Amino acid sequence: MEYSIKTRCHRLIKQMSKSEKRNFKLFAGRQGEESPLFVRLFDAMAAQKEPDEEALLREIAQGNATKLANLKRHLYQQLLVSLRLIHLQKEEDLDVRRRVDFARILYSKGLVLDALRTLEKARDLADRYNFDYLLSEILEFQKLIEARHVTRSRQVKNKMDRLVEESQERAERNLRTSFQSNINIQIQGYYILNGHARNQVQREKFLEFWKVNRERFVGYPNSPPTFFELANASLASMWRNYILLDFSAALEDAENCYNRFNLDQKMKVRDPDFFVRSIYYANAFSFLVGDERRANNYADRLNEFYAARWESLNRNSQSTALVYRQICRLNVHLTRRDWSVALEVINEMLNDQVFEPGNLPAHRRNLIRYKFAAVYFALGDYAAADQQLQDIQNSSTATLRDDLIINTRLMQAIGYLESGDFYLADYAIDNLSRTVRRNHYAGKVHTLTLATLRKLVKEKPADWPPLLEELKSQLATIKHEPYEEKCLRFFEVIYWLEGR
């Protein structure tokens, strides 16, 4: 469904479960009214597979577009209120905010001591689940009450001093947590714009970027680190090492992030999406370094979490867990080069509604298509590989990084050669040659393979073996260079050569 502000109500209804819809009907009928107009609108929209404004105008608003717009706005608000009530007991941060809201109501009624007691309970819950910013808000509210009213707290020795000290410490900790989060986001942005540091000039440029961004906060006070400060520090270091092509160190950083959750088990409940992502990173870097045992271990950890926590996850977290679960499984089989089992995983994924185009970000969808193509290519099913590669190249948004795009076009050219379509292969090789010459993401694997393909397209297949042997020998001398190792991990040209 195309995104539009006019269809937001329909999108929300379609994402609601049967129990949530049933609870909304009970919530809407709480005043004893018989089928309010916004409930009739809800029923009509729930019955539609796709938004149909004309039908709603006829059935609900008697042709009055303004009336329909107002009804949809009111229905949207009522849906959110109903869902919030359902999720209060499932989402701890909503529970903390509810208690803070109660405290504000009690305070406005002049029940100062009752408000403070309620805030204490909210504070304990926020501290238990590392809601750092909510905890700061609660402390500031407590300070406001204590500053404006004479309460029993003043009878407790040093209580005011402890409150002020805790507020100051919490502000400092939040500042450092925000700093680590900023670094993590900035370094990801750097990779998106610049890719890997492949030579000394690029390394120095990146290390200067890293130094400048970290020195900006050198004067920040050293306070006890929060969970999220430590977790984001691990991820920032992971991205740093990834850019510097130190995949083993990046794997270690990803494992450190994962282990943060094992040291603080309740955070798996508090932020399951972050936990699942930490497992995915550890699995992905295990694939990059070719460590089958670790890749399989993290896929198993994700399956265990998926089985144990499924019912308690919200819809968004369920979708995230499903996608990462299948990608991790696929990574294991790619690491093993177990193409037939990888194909079984692909068929499962293609039949899973989670992998329908509307349910995935464009970049992730293209990355999954690329891995599908890599499996088809290894199995020699060049037509199926070409279909996935064409879908990637025809994607108008969020295409893959240039190095993977070069891989896609090399795989296509090889597929044309293997299929005997030398005219199309020659055309693809000429186009790719121009791209590689002006693209700084092209590695030695790409240039050597492309040079060999130029020779192959001019020869009969019977005369290919010496050329293929020469390419295999050339790749053997560079395959342990970090960037080339990554290229070969995503582009199984050596496997193709061995099979040939």
Please name the residues in contact with 17: beta carbons below 8 A apart, sequence gap of 6 or more. Answer: 315
Is residue 152 a part of any domain in this protein? yes
Please name the residues in contact with 370: beta carbons below 8 A apart, sequence gap of 6 or more. Answer: 388, 389, 392, 400, 404, 407, 408, 490
What pLDDT sits at residue 257?
95
What pLDDT sits at residue 55?
84
pLDDT of 154 above 70: no
395 and 472 both lie in a single domain: yes
Is residue 299 a part of any domain in this protein? yes
What pLDDT sits at residue 256?
96
The owner of tokens 């996850």 is: 313
The owner of tokens 């050293």 is: 222
Between 171 and 472, residue with greater pLDDT: 472
Q: What is the mean pLDDT of residues 283-298?
A: 94
Q: In whole angstroms, what is the distance from residue 139 CA to residue 122 CA?
A: 10
237 burial (CB, 10 Å; 0-12 / 13-18 / 19+) is: buried
Tally of structural domains, the chain: 4
407 and 430 both lie in a single domain: yes
What pLDDT sits at residue 194?
86
Encoded tokens for 452: 């060999």
- pLDDT above 90 covers a percentage of the chain that reads 21
Buried/exposed 429-461: b ≥16 CB within 10 Å, e otherwise:
beebeebbeeeebbbbbbebbbbbbeebbeeee
344, 360, 376 - which closes a domain:
360
Give how far the C-alpha of residue 253 lies from the chain's centroid of Cα atoms, to the nearest Å.
Answer: 17
Name residue 235's amino acid: L
- pLDDT above 70 covers a percentage of the chain that reads 92
Q: At what angle do helices 272-289 and 292-309 cross, to 10 degrees?
A: 160
pLDDT of 209 above 70: yes
Most confident listed range (27-41, 53-67, 120-134): 120-134
Q: In whole angstroms, what is the distance from residue 34 CA to residue 28 CA?
A: 10
59 and 125 both lie in a single domain: no
Q: At what angle do helices 37-47 and 18-28 cross, to 10 degrees?
A: 160
pLDDT of 1 above 70: no
pLDDT of 477 above 80: yes
494 burial (CB, 10 Å; 0-12 / 13-18 / 19+) is: middle
87, 118, 141 - which closes a domain:
87
pLDDT of 193 above 90: no
The lowest-confidence range among 92-106, 124-138, 339-353, 392-406 is 392-406
124 and 26 both lie in a single domain: no
- 248 falls in which pLDDT band (50, 70, 90)? very high
What pLDDT sits at residue 34?
57
Is residue 166 a part of any domain in this protein? no
Is residue 146 a part of any domain in this protein? yes
What pLDDT sits at residue 4?
62
Is residue 233 a part of any domain in this protein? no
Name residue 280's amino acid: Y
Report pLDDT digits (tens) over 403-420: 888 888 899 999 898 888
115, 137, 156 - which closes a domain:
156
What pLDDT sits at residue 198?
86
pLDDT of 207 above 90: yes
For residues 366 and 395, the answer to whether their CB atoms sit within 8 Å is yes
Between 441 and 39, residue with greater pLDDT: 39
pLDDT of 229 above 60: yes
pLDDT of 33 above 70: no
H helix or E strand, kind and range, residue 260: helix 247-263
For residues 496 and 414, the answer to whether their CB atoms sit within 8 Å is yes
pLDDT of 397 above 70: no
99 and 50 both lie in a single domain: no
- 291 falls in which pLDDT band (50, 70, 90)? very high
72 and 96 both lie in a single domain: no
Name residue 228's amino acid: F
What pLDDT sits at residue 5?
67
402 and 438 both lie in a single domain: yes
Is residue 315 a part of any domain in this protein? yes
Rounded to 5 degrees, φ, ψ at 138 are: -65, -45
What pLDDT sits at residue 153?
53
Please report the sign of the dihedral spanned by the C-alpha atoms of residue 337, residue 339, residue 343, residue 345: negative
Is residue 224 a part of any domain in this protein? no
For residues 108 and 145, the answer to whether their CB atoms sit within 8 Å is no
For residues 329 and 299, the answer to whether their CB atoms sit within 8 Å is yes
Helix (H, G, I), strand (E, B) or coil at 218: coil
Report pLDDT digits (tens) over 346-384: 888 888 776 766 667 777 888 888 889 999 988 889 899
Q: In whole angstroms, what is the distance from residue 14 CA to residue 8 CA?
A: 10
For residues 231 and 253, the answer to whether their CB atoms sit within 8 Å is no
78 and 99 both lie in a single domain: no
Please name the residues in contact with 437: beta carbons below 8 A apart, sequence gap of 6 or more. Answer: none
Is residue 102 a part of any domain in this protein? yes
Mean of the per-residue pLDDT values for the chain?
85
- 487 falls in which pLDDT band (50, 70, 90)? confident
The lowest-confidence range among 71-85, 141-155, 262-276 is 141-155
pLDDT of 340 above 80: yes
What percent of the residues of the chain are helix, what percent strand, and what percent coil, each to the nearest 5?
80, 0, 20
Q: Which candidate, 477, 445, 489, places its Cα nearest to that of 292? A: 489
Q: In 29-158, where does DSSP find H-type helix?
A: 37-47, 53-59, 65-87, 92-108, 112-128, 132-148
The lowest-confidence range among 71-75, 114-118, 122-126, 174-178 is 174-178
335 and 268 both lie in a single domain: yes
The lowest-confidence range among 146-155, 241-250, 265-274 is 146-155
For residues 142 and 163, the answer to whether their CB atoms sit within 8 Å is yes
What pLDDT sits at residue 157?
55
82 and 120 both lie in a single domain: no
Q: How many helices (H) and strands (E) does the chain have?
A: 25, 0
What pLDDT sits at residue 363?
79
Q: Which candidate, 275, 366, 364, 285, places its Cα nearest to that of 317? A: 275
What pLDDT sits at residue 289?
92
Q: In whole angstroms, what is the distance from residue 94 CA to residue 82 CA?
A: 13
125 and 38 both lie in a single domain: no
Q: Which candidate, 225, 262, 234, places its Cα nearest to that of 132? A: 225
413 and 325 both lie in a single domain: no
* Domain around 349: 253-360
